[in-house]
Structures are given as structure tokens and as C-alpha cells.
Structure 1
């Protein structure tokens, strides 16, 4: 089993306390069928900020904690055990750290103050598994402004954001090196949004950019460097997906053990049945194996090593693992696990999407890993 150091254990306990005080009651409301908005999460978010849990990966000069990847993942894992986790603040896209002048005032400072929130728009209807080559949205400079034309799909949190960071081609090479990133505000007349309901109660959006005009300040970072920044975000995001899966799997495991001990069937507890014992043991082994891998790879990343391949493995194996554990937990709970009055049913729907988001399992396995191993 992986052992955290004293600092990491303290962070885990702090997260656990805030979740217990603020997020667990939200989970109960969700299980009663209430629809939660961003405002419901604000008290927990503010409690985290007062506790110093703000800008977890930001450098100190930006007011952040500059935590190691191991620490951040441990916090994500603990936080994800709740169906309504803390929404930590101060999460600034890496490429915004270097903004200066008007760009800093317009974008970085509001991010740091939690005065603005932007969603992320990379995926297009033409394909999400190979985003660089699938990007057909384009931005052209007409001498006065950038004109963005195209569409994006499956965009999360747009309904709660002040704008969107959109990736568009600014060159003619049709490769990853001619994609730039632009900030587009919600009220821009050239931005049209349509909501798309998804599994697990999520809502994503399809965005259409119809001759959407933005000024030169809205081009974040160097022209043509947008996808390189996106890759950095995606790699770390895949670690986060793995940690989230660990937290959910651990909660489901705890629930199945408790239920198996209490539930009496054919005059004995479920935990006495060999088939149930096998499901519980298999789940424990899988969780421990994945936890060891996630944090060993995070330690490697903290030492400055290239962990892109490891991030793919973590994303692929952890999302597959958590779906198996959820399924076993539902099976052990029976009909009680199939109702939306239980978090198991919610996680069943939500985590099905995790095997697709941030790159489908098959892409990570056969394109990224096989290509690397057979090179």
C-alpha cells in the first residue's frame, strides 16, 4: 500500500474536514433530487480558500500553494469520495502565468481573484480522439481583429463560465503547430451556444463561432503555440482523472464492505458468501494496484521526468478499474444500488463517460502506447 508523508496526510485530513462540513450535505440534497448550481458550492470553495487551499499548483508569487503533483492528486482522491466535491479555486491555465500588461489585467488577474471563470473548447464534431488534426475552427486576422469561424462540442461548464478558451487554426499547415488559443467572452455576438444533456445529469454545450470577432489581446500566448499548452494541460488532467477514479472506487469499496456485513441473505451475512468475498477482494486489489501506480508516476513527474506515457496508462487503467468496482458495488447492493437515491447509480452514469473523456481507452492503448512500444 502507498504511504503518504506527514504533509500530504495533513492536507488529506483538511480536505476531509471541509468535505464533511460543506460537501456531504450537498450530496444528501443531490440524492433527494435537488439540482445544484455553482452557488451551492461557494461555501465549501470559500472554506477551502480560508484554509489556504487556493491555487494548488500556482507558484507562490501568484499567491498559490505550489503543491507537488503527489499532494494535489491525494487531495483530488479524497475530495472525489463525495458526489458533490469541493470546487477548488485559483486553477489558472499554465500558459497564462507569463501574461503581461493588458493581457495580465484582463485575464490572469481575474483568474487569480476568482472573478472570472472560463471553460475549455478544444473538441470538435469532426473528432475528439485526435484533437490536433480534427481542429477545423479557424481564426484569421483582418488587420483590426481576429475573426473566428467554426464549432466546438462537448464543452463542459460553459453555462457557469464568463467565457471560453477556444483553440483555432491560425496557419495553413493543418498540424498541431498552427493552433492558437483565444479568449472569447460569453456576450460576444458571434458566439452561439446550445446545451446538450449528457449521462449522469451533466450538461455540455455545442458552441458555434459565426464570424466571432476578438481583439489581438484575446490571443493568449504565442500564435501557433496553443496546442502545445493544451497538451501540458491534458497530461496533468489525465493524472487527475486517475486520482478521481481512485477516490470514487475507494468510496464504492467502503460502501460494498459495509453493506455486505449488514445485509443478511439466506440466514447469513452477504460477507459470508464466497462470491461476495471474491468481488470485495478483487476490488481491493485493483484499487491498491492502481494507487501504487498513480503515486509512483506522480513522484516521477515531481522529479521533472517526462510522464506523458504514464499519464496515458493512468487515465486508461484507472477509468476502467473504477467502472468495474462501481459495477460490483451495485451488484452487491442489488436494487438499492440502482436507485438515484444512492451515489452508486450517479457514479455508474458519470464514470461511463470517463472512459471516453481525455482520450478513449482504445486511443491510449493502441495509438499512444502501442506506437511508443513498437517504435
Structure 2
């Protein structure tokens, strides 16, 4: 394992860092941001900026118009993009589109790629991923009750999904549904089809995801058999193809947010004077900043270790579970300490840190709560012990 970055990746890192600092950070107070994320007009303006700089959807394959980044390269680039709350939106690497792009590159047919994936990569449309349900299906997808029944050349889908990120304004969705034999299948559908009903948007702590989080009702939604994503009955398997890399890219982006909060706190600690010296010279504050640096260092190493494993062709399920827990908890500590260093400013919108604090809390829940990942890791540990 070698973490030395090649010259071209160093150049790309510097390019993204300049782009975020000069083009995106100045837009963070744009009033077109809503409680459910940047509105469509703001998102399109951000996307066009990234397109003009050759930085749009860099993780997509070159065939689809991206840069074909490896997982290790994504670790570098996504962290830089995450330095701004608007960076992932601008570069079209935000959830759920980023994970959907990865999944469709692997599973979709050529016709499906041209119809949905290419315009998604080009930033012309958005998507959502509909798996989580209000009656239990979330971290445990086996509890899913949404059904898909064959009817002639179509499948008829019925059920309710919620916490669907990016739902408002999405042009198409990937829907997970249970088949009559108990297996699960993924379906692609345009969101303007009859029976695809957005019931309501959900208020949430975070406001960084374009399209917010919503409740979706599927009422006799007819999906042609040609719009099945991949093979029938392999929905749970395809979910794993999507979840491990998408889980890790969350860690990358949030590391950028943590670094931003830390930088704001450091700048304040250098300038603010209290009790006869600069704030950062007091051990209580200096130690918090030192702990921030260590937590970010551990997070970065963990992310890059998992990225390396994925680049070797491994599924990386164990490594991504560990990375998700380590990253989400370390990043939360960094942001929380940064709020504390800033004092009164930290709990107001005087700096970006208060916004980052609100947005980041959910990271310990989505893509698997820390407790679920620990449970999964514990089962693997005991399974390994039992086989020895």
C-alpha cells in the first residue's frame, strides 16, 4: 500500500481546491438555499461552474464523460469538494446521485445508460434511490414490504418509501421492491409516471442534500420489464455493489466538512485574545485543536485504506463498515470541538460551522447507524473465531 500521490492527482487536488475556494465558497450564503437543499436554479448554476472547469462528475467513467477516478483518487478529490457545503452539489458527486451512477455503470443495460445514466452524469437531471420504508426496512432491508407483481409486459409496484434523499425534483428513481418469491429486484422509473406520488417532504436537521428527504407512495406504478435494473431477484446483491463505495464517499466528503470547521476554529483561536493571550495558547483550546488534527488524520488513513482495498477489486464490506463508524464518529468530534472553540459564534450562523454541525449529525445514522455496523463487525469476528 503506497499513499504517495502521482503528479497528476496532486495537480487535480490543487485544481479542485482552487475551484472550491474561488468559485463555490463565495456562494455559500446564496439565498436560493432552502430547508430542503439548494433549489434547482442554484444547483444548475453550480453545476455549470464545475462543467466550465472540467470538474463535473469526475468519478464517472470516461465513456460516460467523467474522469474515471479510482477510489483512491476519489478520496482526495471528494475531500476537497466537501470543504464547501455546496461543493458536492456543484461537482455532481453528492448523494444519492453519486452512488446511483456507480451502480448503473456496473449493472444497467446500454439502453438504460443512454436514457438515464448519461444525462445524470452530464448534470442535466437528478435521481433518487428508494429502499427505506416507514415500517422497518432501512438498515435491515429484509423487512421491505413494497411489492412488485408481474402483469403482462409490466411490473406493478405498490408500497411506501420514506427518507428518500433527493426526491423533490428527481427525474428518475431506482426502486427496490419484493418479488412474489420473496427476493428483491431493482427497477428504474421516470418520476412522472402515474402512481409515483410524492406525499410530502420531511423536515430534517440537515439542509445540504439537493431535493431534501421525502415520503414516496407507489400506487399501482407500472414499470415495463425492460426497465428492470440488472437481473430479477438480485436487488439485495446489487445494493451491496452500491453501498460499500457510496458509504465510503460519504466519509470522504464529510472529512472535507470537518477540515473546514477545524480551519475556521483555528483561525479564530489565532486571532481571539482572552485572559492575556491568544485563545489557542490556552491548553484547553490547544488540546482540542490537536485532537481535531489526530481525528482527521486517522479518518483520512482509514478512508484511503478502504479505497485501496476497493481498488484491488475487493468488495470491501468489512473495511467500509469500519471506515463508516470511525469516520462518522471522528468527524463529529472534530466539528463539535470546533463549535466549542468558537464559543457563542459556534452556535450561530456567523460562521459556516453551525451549518456544518447541523448537517453532519445525520452522518452517524444514514448508510447504516454506527450500532448496525458494530453489530455486523461483531458477527464477523465471532464467525472468524468459530472457524479457527
> 1:146-295 to 2 correspondence within 5 Å?
146-173=155-182, 178-193=183-198, 194-201=200-207, 203-295=212-304
Shift of the alpha carbon at 1:5? 3.0
Alignment partners' CA distance in 2, 1:229 and 1:187: 25
Alignment partners' CA distance in 2, 1:307 and 1:261: 41
Aligned length: 370
Shift of the alpha carbon at 1:93? 4.0
> 1:318-333 to 2 correspondence within 5 Å?
318-333=327-342
- The answer to whether structure 1 residue 8 and structure 2 residue 9 are counterparts is yes
Alignment partners' CA distance in 1, 2:180 and 2:84: 44
Q: Secondary structure at the match of 2:193?
A: coil
Retained in 1: the 8 A contact 2:273–2:279? yes
From 61, 69, 79, the counterpart of 2:63: 61
TM-score by length of 1: 0.91
CA-based RMSD of the aligned residues comes to 2.4
Retained in 1: the 8 A contact 2:57–2:122? no
Equivalence for 1:126: 135
Shift of the alpha carbon at 1:358? 0.2
- The range that moved more, 85-94 or 234-243, is 85-94
Equivalence for 2:46: 44
Alignment partners' CA distance in 2, 1:224 and 1:47: 41
Alignment partners' CA distance in 1, 2:176 and 2:357: 31
TM-score by length of 2: 0.88
Shift of the alpha carbon at 1:326? 1.1
Q: Structure 1: any 5+ residue segments left out of the alignment? A: none
Shift of the alpha carbon at 1:32? 9.8
Equivalence for 1:17: 18
Alignment partners' CA distance in 1, 2:292 and 2:53: 34
Retained in 2: the 8 A contact 1:23–1:86? no
Q: Structure 2: any 5+ residue segments left out of the alignment? A: 384-388
Instruction: Say if 1:94 and 1:85 are closer, same or farther in 2 by CA, change over 3 A.
Output: same
Alignment partners' CA distance in 1, 2:31 and 2:343: 21
Shift of the alpha carbon at 1:30? 5.6
Equivalence for 2:386: none
Shift of the alpha carbon at 1:341? 3.2
Retained in 2: the 8 A contact 1:129–1:360? no
1:345-374 per-position Cα deviation (integer Å, ceiling 9, x unaligned): 111111110000000000001x21101111
Retained in 2: the 8 A contact 1:102–1:217? no
Alignment partners' CA distance in 1, 2:34 and 2:204: 17
From 365, 368, 374, the counterpart of 2:376: 368
Retained in 2: the 8 A contact 1:69–1:302? yes
- The answer to whether structure 1 residue 314 and structure 2 residue 323 are counterparts is yes
Shift of the alpha carbon at 1:112? 4.3
